[in-house]
Chain A
Amino acid sequence: MKPAIFEHERMSSIDDVVQALANADGEVRVLGGGQSIGPMMNLRLAQPDKVLDLSRVEGLDGISEAGDRLSIGARVTHARIEDGEVPGTTGAYMQFVASGISYRSVRNRGTIGGSVAHADPAADWPTALLALGGEVKVVGSGGEKSIPLDGFQVGPFTTGLGWDEVLIGFDLPALGPNTKWGYYKVNRKPGEFADAIGAVIIGNEARAVCGATESAPFRVFDIEEKLSGGATELSVADAREILSGHDAGFDDYELQIHAVALSRAIGRAFA
């Protein structure tokens, strides 16, 4: 339960990180709060040669609203989101999600950027943010750019981040006050990684996401169409029927819990 030997470099700026990534020799990992990579290194599932520590890099902690957009820095912790620092309806949705992530002592360190970059299929933010839509902000050798959250995660622990790029934050929609949202996580004990997640947001558009799959979370367009058409509920049987049309590799039990998660998320949105 001790990590393999690695080199630790304290970064002082994003430019530092980009340069270190560009000059990387061997496996290099960026360390945010370390609450996912830390356990994986203790279990030796991850054995990076070098760790680039973001804890001294400035400019990653901001939360700000401009018009109908919200900007959230990569190093914002789950605890800050749980405590209501993100404003408005988007904030209420994110507060609900954050409060169900692991435990307070982990939420005090774990970051939203780290969670999305790490891309554990069972983690909350990759699914929750895909339902929200918006963009991931990254910096690499080629400068700064935005990548849509739609399609950002491509598989388990695999994202659209290039090998020389670092995630610096998110550009998210500020949801209107009448937007409905519902989030349902299937797990046996509070704070555990999810066995299944259903996330729905019904505002200007309807988005429904099936998460905690074997791979990346995915949008369920047939459900979105029903919600856009005015549906305010979806039976588990109907959700099952729709999900069985997706090539998600679910066995019978997995199909059931993912259907339940989506059905209950919609139930919560219209409760």
Chain B
Amino acid sequence: MSDLTININGEHVTANVEPRLSLADFIRDHQRLTGTHLGCEHGVCGACTVLMNGEPVRSCITFAVVADGTEITTIEGFDDDEPMAQLRQAFHENHALQCGYCTPGMLVAARDIVTRLPDADEDRVRLELAGNLCRCTGYVGIVKAILSVLEQRCS
């Protein structure tokens, strides 16, 4: 067992965990923050994407012990975040989700796109989204939503 101190969504958390526990399982099962979803559990689908020290990472292939001392933001931690508020509204308006399983990871990835790549065009948005799988929407609504937020933030 290993000691662990993480700041999750602004809250200081200490725990004693097994080394093999993934950050995703720590977030969901130990912290009961079930907004982070698990799909493939080997880093391909993107559903488990969270922010670590402000950058998107895969929580399913990051061990909780490795996240010791970091700041984690899960989908529950963006209440006062401007780009995320814009994305939530845009996802709603553009029908960018159906079942919602990929949405938490999709939103975290989308936030990275609109903040890191303000000049991204549709091709770039689609390329950047290659690491987040959605099986319902065909991505059309998701891409439209992200493009609309990029435009909003430009003006």
Contacts and interface: CB of A to CB of B under 8 A. Distances in A.
Contact of B130 (A5, A53, A55, A190): A190
A159 interface: no
A35 B23 CA distance: 13
Q: Is the interface of A mostly helix, strand, loop or mixed?
A: loop
B32 interface: no
A35 B43 contact: yes
Contacts of B57: 105, 108-109
B20 A5 contact: yes
Contact of B128 (A1, A38, A102, A104): A104
Contacts of A41: 20
B41 A42 contact: yes
A16 to B, nearest CB: 16
B18 to A, nearest CB: 7
Contacts, number: 86
Contacts of A105: 46, 49, 55-58, 109, 112, 131
Interface in A21-42: 31, 34-35, 38-39, 41-42
Interface residues of A, number: 31
Contacts of B46: 103, 105
A38 B67 CA distance: 13
A108 B56 CA distance: 7
B65 interface: yes
A38 B52 CA distance: 17
A8 interface: yes
Residue picked from A2, A105, A191, most chain B C-beta under 10 Å: A105
Contact of B20 (A4, A39, A102, A189): A4
A189 B37 CA distance: 23
B61 A35 contact: yes
B144 to A, nearest CB: 20
Contacts of A53: 65-66
A55 B58 contact: no
Contact of B61 (A6, A42, A55): A42
A75 to B, nearest CB: 13
A233 to B, nearest CB: 27
16 contacts: A1-B41, A1-B42, A4-B20, A8-B65, A10-B65, A34-B62, A38-B63, A39-B43, A39-B61, A42-B22, A42-B60, A42-B61, A102-B43, A103-B46, A104-B112, A109-B52
Which A-B residue pairs are the 5 nearest by beta carbons? A103-B131, A8-B19, A38-B61, A1-B41, A39-B42
Interface of A: 1-8, 10, 31, 34-35, 38-39, 41-43, 51, 53, 55, 79, 102-106, 108-109, 189-191
